[in-house]
Each structure stands twice: as C-alpha cells, then as structure tokens.
Amino acid sequence: MPQPRLWTETLHDGWGQTLRVDEVLFELDSGHQHLLIFRNAMFGTVLALDGVVQTTEKDEFIYHEMLTHVPIVSHGACRKVLIIGGGDGGILREVCRHPAVTSITQVEIDPAVIELSRKYLPNHSRGAFDDPRLTLVIDDGVRFVQECGERFDVIISDSTDPHGPAEALFTSPFYAGVKRCLEPDGIFVAQNGVAFVQTAEVLNTASRLRPLFEDVSFYTCAVPTYTGGIMTFAWASDDPAKRQVDLAEIVRRWDDTGIDSCYYTGELHQASFALPRYLLQQLD
C-alpha cells in the first residue's frame, strides 16, 4: 500500500509541523516560488507557499475575524477601509459584513492569488469580491500607500511573513506611507507572526512604527496552524483612546453590527491586548 504524502513546514530552522496531503488540488513550482494547495482531513483545504502554511479552510476564521473586527469596532465610526494583500479574500469577507462601511479598497500584487483562492478556497471570500463597495487594485502595496490621494479610517495589512516580496510590507517606507493614508483618528493593524518564535519581527515592527505613531502596541490570538504560540498583530494609531474603549462600549458596538461571529467577542477583543510578560519585557 503506498505511503501517504507528508508535507512539512520549513518556516523555522530545526522545528516545524507536518500535515498529511490527502489530495493535491493545485501545485506550481515556478523556480521562484512553490505553491501547493491540498486537502487535509483535519484542516480541510490548505494553501502553502514556499513551505509555509498561509491559510487553511478549518481555522482561517480566527485570524480573519481578529484582524478585521478589532480595529473596526475599536474605531467606532469606520466608513473607509484599505486592505493591503489578503488575496485569499478572508479579510475582505469580514470587512464586508460591517454594514456601516461604505468604501473598501483592496490592493493585491498578484491577481493569481485571488483567482486560485476563489477557485479552491471559495469559503474564504464567499462572494465578497463582487461586493459593490469594493475597489480592487492590482498593484504593489508600498507604492500604493506612497502615492494614494485618499485617506482611510482603518488600514489592514494581511501579508505573508517578511520574506521575499512581502518583506517590503514590514519596512519604514511602507509604514510611513500608511501614516499618510490614515485619517487623523485612524487605525493601522498588521499580522506580525507568532511572537514566541518570531520575536525579532515584533521588535522590528515596534521600532519602525513608534517614530510615526503616538500609540503603538500589539494584540494576539491563537491560530492552530500558525504554530509556536500566540499570533501577534501590530496596532498603530495617533488616538490612544481607540485602544482603551471599555468593554460595555465594545459589546454595544459589536451588537449594533448584527454580525454573527465564529470566534470574535467583545470580551476576547479586550483581552487580546493583554500581552504575556516575556513579550512585554522584550518590547520595553
């Protein structure tokens, strides 16, 4: 009987996770990058790029809900949202669920990511790419924020880890561009890796955001396939009050949206800003 194919993540030196490949749905090795989409009995459809899990059908809702709802609910009057990256459509799906949002701009550098995700991961977007509020821009995210003439209430950066093309989305020029595109009371959030094993990335982000924004912090959640501990999200704003909304108000705002979430709650929202001591010591 043939042995099942096993796929092992290569993000960390000397340690990783292994998933069984039950069925290959799509595979492409261009010489520059290796893209694999496969079925796994535990996590459903899995998208892996260059040996790193990007998203899975089973647990994507945790990441996408927390990266979307925390800044939008914290803002309290969000109307215009900018998404950088996020070609799988998960962030867009969650933004579209907010009825008060009137305008969404998404900047994705690679249209193939959108096409493949719509085909093999349709539940990520669930038709969100057809939302009339969306303006989809195929462009480099760094260039867009440096040249854009609009301002946004919330900017969400949903990129891969800071290697290869995505590395530019973790640099000072990108963050400076984000600052110029934000409304004065706006909020910027971004995925920032698993803090325990990618501490340097968190520290680099903090050092680059602090000269630009009055209030820089991080919040967290646990995503099973982003192994190594808690997933960390960067937070930056010039309005410190946005991060200090009391629980009753968070719950009221959330209830007003009418959204039925799978992970996010007002209580989790508030608790997510409580950071572990090891991370606080590094950031200090």
193-224: burial string, b at 16+ Cβ within 10 Å, e else = bbbeebbebbebbbebbeebbebbbbbbbebe
Q: Classify 106 as helix, strand or coil.
A: strand
How big is the chain, counted in residues? 284
Which of these is catalytic: 158, 161, 246, 256? Answer: 158
Task: Please tell me the distance from the alpha carbon of residue 249 to that of residue 133, in angstroms, as a whole number.
Answer: 27
Backbone angles phi, psi at 234, to 5 degrees: -75, 145
* Alpha helices, DSSP H, located in 97-246: 111-120, 122-125, 141-147, 172-181, 199-209
Is 158 a catalytic site residue? yes
Place of tokens 């493949």: 116
- DSSP E strands in the chain: the ranges are 5-8, 18-21, 23-29, 34-40, 44-49, 52-56, 80-85, 103-108, 134-138, 152-158, 182-194, 215-221, 231-237
Residue 112 corresponds to which amino acid?
A
- Residues with a catalytic annotation lie at 158
